[in-house]
Amino acid sequence: MTPRFHWVLPTGGDSRYLVAGGPGVGSLSARGDRPATLDYLSQITRTAEQLGFTGVVAPLDRWSEDAWLTSAMLAGTTSRLKFLVPVRPGQISPALAARMAATFQRHSGGRLLFQVDTTTDEHGDFLDDNDRLTRADEFLRVLRALWQGEEVTFHGEHIQVERAALSRVPQPVPPVYRNGPVAQHADVHLTGGEPPPTIADRIERIRHTTDHIPRFAIRLHVITRDTSGQAWADARRLLAALEPNPHNGSANRMVTVHGGGASKLEVYPNLWSGVSLVPGGADLALVGNHAEVANRIEEYHAIGIDEFILSGHPHLEEAYWFGEGVLPLLRQRGTWPNPSTSGLATAR
């Protein structure tokens, strides 16, 4: 399958640093050097579409603007770009989510990608991991049935529905992305950033333990430049700007020990763990010149990763670095066709 690339929207604000404000500003600050205005986010979405990204992703965290409302407002600024919008089953009913998805599909021309997030809800969802997964399964069972035009009555352990139905089903039915254990109701399995051998083992286990084999997507940060030295210099700059965080002793030790030695946090060729020092982002970053980053992309793709969810600071400039540096190389190698000039533009 041809790889697809998505770009993360900085709906909590953007910065030239891993945390808003850079030196002199606390690392848990939610303020960005560039506020998440609709004008700025529109600029990023139009850039992502122009460069050939398949979609953009609105984060789901306490620091960011609402993902659904922001995505809906941005959809009108583009014509091809898809929007990966997350929901947490503990925050919304499946009937309401199904209706919102159907409305989004009609008004956007079928450009919704639907993510079910099973991570802990910071607003008071106290279910343990197993219960959250059970609830997500129940949520998706109801959601899928509603999208097929069924009237649904469902009495589960966590979700209760009586005669729910949609007046109009979504066209097309959006693909479902999901983190956590792979379920029969998901189309794409989301995984955090890990080196290719680890990801390969995970994909192999999943394919041997389930009859339903979804597509696989990975979340990564990216720092790509014309030369490897330039890329690692920027990684050192990001690391040097991090301030001690009183809530994360292990991160403090890593910053203190490694200081500006960003390459010491390279856990695999061109994979840097420095971005994991900041909560809420990616676990690993692709760091290197454009050819090196393209090589790692192809290595991930060869083991079964079909979709890449990427970010960079600042998000506008880094989208250009990746879109004008790495994507043309992948196209020249025959790995990736630009969706704005191929049939992938209408693929689900």
pLDDT (tens digit per residue) in 48-64: 999 999 999 999 888 89
Specify whether the CB–CB gap between 317 and 291 falls below 8 A: no
Distance, in Å, from the CA atom of 207 to the CA atom of 214, rounded to the nearest integer, reads 9
Query: What integer pLDDT is reported at residue 259 of this predicted model?
Result: 47
> Which of 130, 5, 8, 99 is closest to 61 using CA atoms?
8
Looking at the predicted structure, is the pLDDT value of residue 215 above 60?
Answer: yes
Phi, psi of 337 (to 5 degrees): -95, 140
CA 110 to the chain's CA centroid: 19
Phi, psi of 330 (to 5 degrees): -65, -35
- Let me know the angle formed at the C-alpha of 284 by 229 and 331, rounded to the nearest 5 degrees: 70
Please count the structural domains in the chain. Answer: 1
% the chain with pLDDT above 90: 70
Query: What integer pLDDT is reported at residue 20 of this predicted model?
Result: 52
Mean pLDDT confidence for 1-8:
95
Q: Give the bridge partners for 14, in sequence order.
A: 34
Specify whether the CB–CB gap between 202 and 191 falls below 8 A: yes
Please indicate whether residue 264 or residue 153 has the higher confidence score (pLDDT).
153
Alpha carbon of 187 to those of 13, 114, 233, 238: distances in Å?
30, 10, 38, 35
Q: Mind listing the pLDDT tens digit for each residue in 219-256?
A: 999 999 999 999 999 999 999 888 655 444 444 444 44
Q: Mind listing the pLDDT tens digit for each residue in 315-341?
A: 999 999 999 999 999 999 999 998 766
Mean pLDDT confidence for 304-312:
97
CA 68 to the chain's CA centroid: 15
Q: Could you say which DSSP state residue 325 is in?
A: H
Q: Could you say which DSSP state residue 242 is in?
A: P
Average pLDDT along the chain: 87
Relative to beta strand 112-116, strand 82-87 is parallel
Q: What is the CATH number of the domain that holds 104?
A: 3.20.20.30
CA 102 to the chain's CA centroid: 22
172: cis peptide before it, omega within 30°? yes
Q: Mind listing the pLDDT tens digit for each residue in 177-189?
A: 998 776 667 899 9
Sequence-separated (6 or more) residues with CB below 8 Å from residue 204: none
Looking at the predicted structure, is the pLDDT value of residue 10 above 80?
Answer: yes
Residue with tokens 């109701």: 185
Give the number of C-alpha atoms closer than 13 A to the C-alpha of residue 258, restricted to the C-beta side.
24
Helix (H, G, I), strand (E, B) or coil at 153: strand
Sequence-separated (6 or more) residues with CB below 8 Å from residue 248: 277, 279
Looking at the predicted structure, is the pLDDT value of residue 193 above 90?
Answer: yes
Terminal C-alpha separation, the chain: 12
Alpha carbon of 18 to those of 204, 229, 337: distances in Å?
33, 19, 31
Parent domain of 50: 4-346
Q: Give the bridge partners for 160, in sequence order.
A: 155
Query: What integer pLDDT is reported at residue 242 of this predicted model?
Result: 81
Specify whether the CB–CB gap between 329 and 294 falls below 8 A: yes
Q: Which H, E and C letters describe 70-101, residue by residue?
A: HHHHHHCCCCCCEEEEEECCCCCCHHHHHHHH
Relative to beta strand 271-272, strand 266-268 is antiparallel
